[in-house]
Amino acid sequence: MRVYYDRDADVNLIKTKKVAVIGYGSQGHAHANNLKDSGVKDVVIGLREGSTAAEKARNAGFTVMTPDKAAAWADVVMVLTPDEGQGTLYKESLEKNLKQGAALAFAHGLSIHFRLIEARPDLDVFLIAPKGPGHTVRSEYQRGGGVPCLVAIAQDKSGKA
């Protein structure tokens, strides 16, 4: 096992990407706001029509799109919705709309490990799984700290996952 620290990461790599965070619940709000506060200029929130989280996301300064439109727009799509709906979300909204060569990311590995999602072969697929609930991820970031995360690569098509 290799342990990585902040000094091993280059936040500039994500700053040039268009990032869609699908979901704006516990993890979604934390990831989106932490990305924005880290200097990632192009972050949108993907939510289904009529989502009660849309107003909260807009009030935080985010553009809200449907998941299919967010997937078509983004270079990196971070799926932060409940596990049980991710397979359907991918099949109905993401799979055919993700850009060729985009990256698909998760904060929990269930959908990939149990093949609820079988990602297109042209995609990078990776996991960044914080070991804490979203409110802790966010509050630790705001105080200048962080929480440990598991990082894994399921598919490295680009060689840069």
108 included as an active-site residue: yes
Phi-psi region of 31 (alpha: psi -120 to 50; beta: other; left: phi over 0): alpha
User: What is residue 7's DSSP assignment?
Assistant: G
Q: Where are the chain's structural domains?
A: 6-155
Query: Cα–Cα distance between 76 and 7 in angstroms, integer?
Result: 22
Q: What is the pLDDT of residue 3?
A: 75
Q: What is the pLDDT of residue 9?
A: 82
- The answer to whether the beta carbons of residues 151 and 4 sit under 8 Å apart is yes
Q: What is the pLDDT of residue 50?
A: 96
Query: Cα–Cα distance between 69 and 17 in angstroms, integer?
Result: 16
Q: What is the pLDDT of residue 34?
A: 97
Catalytic residue among 29, 31, 108, 113: 108
pLDDT tens by residue, 65-99: 999 999 999 999 999 999 999 999 999 999 999 99
Question: 155 burial class (0-12, 13-18, 19+ CB within 10 angstroms)?
Answer: middle
Give me the residues of the chain with pLDDT under 70, please.
1
Q: What is the pLDDT of residue 11?
A: 87
Q: What is the pLDDT of residue 4?
A: 76
Question: 147 burial class (0-12, 13-18, 19+ CB within 10 angstroms)?
Answer: middle
Q: Which CATH number fits domain 6-155: 3.40.50.720, 3.30.70.380, 3.50.50.60, 3.30.499.10?
A: 3.40.50.720
Bridge-based pairing of strands 103-106 and 124-130 is parallel
